[in-house]
Amino acid sequence: MKRGLATLILALFTTLPAQAASCSWSARMEEDEGGSVMMASVCGGPKGDAHLMLACFGKPVLSYDLGAAGGQLEPGISGSFTFKAGDKSLTKKLELEAMYNYFTTELSGPADPLLSLLRGKGNVTVSADKYGAATFPLKGSGAAIGKVLAECGKGSGGEAD
């Protein structure tokens, strides 16, 4: 899974600059070494260079790129990140994908509480004491996340190695 995820995110990063200007949720097919994978993403943070990305590799996987604020992080680390939208918040442990310098977590499935929070309205702020905070718009998140979840379990690329 990690190699497939890393390849997918590399492909995503090569296409993000065109999308980054709007900082709104989008979903589209991305090529992975195992085939095409539906990816939802949004940019945010003070400079618009932080990203939240959702793909499905059997289960939904959320990735968080801190952008320039993250600097070069130490391999093998993890962190507790709080996601807050409106009056709801939850904390998730994310593991660093060192090759691409972003944090990831596998979600339990379509009913995961974090996915419910991300389908809300307004904005979501992702924060951790060590890494600061970044805010992302939620407008369009429900449709983009729905497209990824619709592809979950259909045997698309990104199978575990």
Q: Does an H or E element contain 31, and which?
A: strand 26-32
Please give the pLDDT value at position 68: 83
CATH of the domain spanning 2-151 = 2.60.40.1880
Question: 67-97, pLDDT tens digit by residue?
Answer: 987 777 888 899 999 999 999 999 999 999 8
This prediction has a pTM of: 0.81
Q: Which residues contact 96 (CB under 8 A, 6 or more apart)?
A: 73, 74, 75, 76, 77, 78, 79, 102, 103
Neighbours of 26 (CB within 10 A): 15
Please give the pLDDT value at position 153: 67
Beta pairing partners, 32? 35
Beta pairing partners, 106? 61
Question: 6-59, pLDDT tens digit by residue?
Answer: 444 444 444 444 344 468 999 999 876 677 889 999 999 989 999 999 998 889
Question: Exposed, middle or buried, 155 (CB in 10 Å: 0-12/13-18/19+)?
Answer: exposed
Please give the pLDDT value at position 98: 81
